[in-house]
Amino acid sequence: MKILGTDFVTYYVGNFHAAVMFYRDTLGLPLKTYRDRDLWAEFDCGNITLALQGGGDIMPGDHAPRIVLAVPDLAAAQTELKARGVNIVRPPQDDGDGLQLELLDPDGNIVVLHQRAVVPPG
CATH number (domain holding residue 68): 3.10.180.10
Domain hosting 57: range is 5-116
Alpha-carbon distance of 49 to 42, in angstroms, equals: 6
Residue 87 counted as domain residue: yes
Domain count, the chain: 1
How does pLDDT run along the chain (122 residues), one tens digit per residue?
A: 898 988 999 888 888 998 899 899 988 899 999 999 999 999 998 888 999 988 865 555 566 778 888 999 999 999 999 999 898 999 999 988 899 999 888 767 788 999 999 877 76
What are the pLDDT digits (tens) for 44-69? Answer: 988 889 999 888 655 555 667 788 88
Nearest residue to 2 via CA among 48, 71, 67: 71
Is residue 121 a part of any domain in this protein?
no
pLDDT of residue 122: 66
Phi, psi of 31 (to 5 degrees): -80, 120
Within 8 A by CB and 6+ apart from 61, the residues are none
pLDDT of residue 107: 65
